Amino acid sequence: MDEPRNSLNRQSRDIAQKELVRVLADAAVGWYGIDSPPIVEALPSNVPHVVAHESLVDAVFRTQDGRLLHLEFQSTAEPDLYRFLGYATALAITHRAPVQVAVVYLTARQPADRTLDLGSIAFAVENVLIGSRDGVKVEQHLKDLVAHGSAWSPPDLLDLAYWPFMRHPQATQSARAAWAVETAVALPRQSGLSAAAVVLALTAPFLSAPDVNYVMEVLKMSPLLRELTREAEDRGRQAGREEGREEGREEGREEGREEGREEGREEGREEGQRRLLEIQLAQRFGCVPPAVRSRLAALPADKLAALALPLVVADSIDDVLGLLGGGEPSL
């Protein structure tokens, strides 16, 4: 696998897969090869955890037989199954329904564990390995679609989004990513922008900065990219809340708990703003230098809010550093 060239993180890629499934739910489940009844509805992704805080799962659907289908997206191997067990338990308790868990990996390597034996509790997941699929065969199909001007079905869009991660003995991952983005942008506007946004979020770490900037200009903050930034904020707020609760529990006093919760909420809002700016800067310039990250980390919430627009419309990283150096933002 090629080394990433820029800093759009793994979390963004996982969120992009979640959005892909949300839009193409039934087609995606079949494309992954998951044996499941037809989907009836999508369910909220935030569920109460068994240890008194909320967890954000990637995608949950109710199927025609009343079961739940829980999909998790991983860019790297999961060390064990306990996190997924916690999610499945919370979902089962919340919805009082059996839960089927499938984990979609971009890699080809089979994770060590698919089952977890805890005595009275037996837990199993189904692993979907995108990296083990035949990229040469999919490439021929995609190029036939382009050559003949054929209509693209939902499974075709999934092929395009995931093709850079499939097994391919000749073409590099970065070359496939660039071709996938270029092809997606050229598709009819509605399906094309959606596909291009997903392909960009999945493959941006393997694209050059000019390629990323070009596609960003075409997309003009599509609904998917708004979802990426919104979820980055949500995860920042959640991390802050959990930190605050933990601090309150350790102090063991009501005052400590309340103080911890308030600090957690405030830290979560600030962290969400910082992550949003980092994602936007990475999408614009291809990378976020350590100097920019450190200056962002030092800014208070009011300064972050004031600089949000000037930072994302800056012409260069030098301009970004100038804005973060303490000068007044100019619009």
- The model's pLDDT over 18-73, given as tens digits with 9 standing for 90+, comes to 667 766 778 888 899 998 888 888 887 666 544 434 455 678 899 999 999 999 88
d(CA 310, CA 99): 46
Q: Rounded CA gap, 176 and 178, in Å?
A: 5
Between 20 and 267, whose confidence is greater? 20
Cβ atoms of 103 and 78 within 8 Å: the answer is yes
Domains, the chain, in order of start with CATH, read 10-132 (3.40.1350), 135-214 (no CATH), 223-324 (no CATH)
Q: Tell me the whole-structure pTM to 2 decimals.
A: 0.60
Residue 279: predicted pLDDT: 67
Q: Which tens digit of pLDDT belongs to each residue from 97-119? A: 999 999 998 888 877 788 999 99
> Given this model, what pLDDT does residue 154 score?
85
Per residue in 188-225, pLDDT tens? 755 555 666 677 667 766 666 776 666 666 655 455 55
| Residue type, position 48, single letter | P
* pLDDT range class, residue 322, cuts 50, 70, 90: confident
Whether pLDDT at 309 is above 50: yes
pLDDT of residue 191: 55
Between 178 and 305, name the one with better pLDDT: 178
Beta strands in 138-262, from DSSP E residues, in sequence order:
none
Residue 227: name the closest of 250, 197, 256, 263 by CA.
197
Axis-axis angle for helices 209-219, 254-285 (nearest 10): 100
Q: How many Å is the Cα radius of gyration of the chain?
A: 21
158/193: higher pLDDT: 158
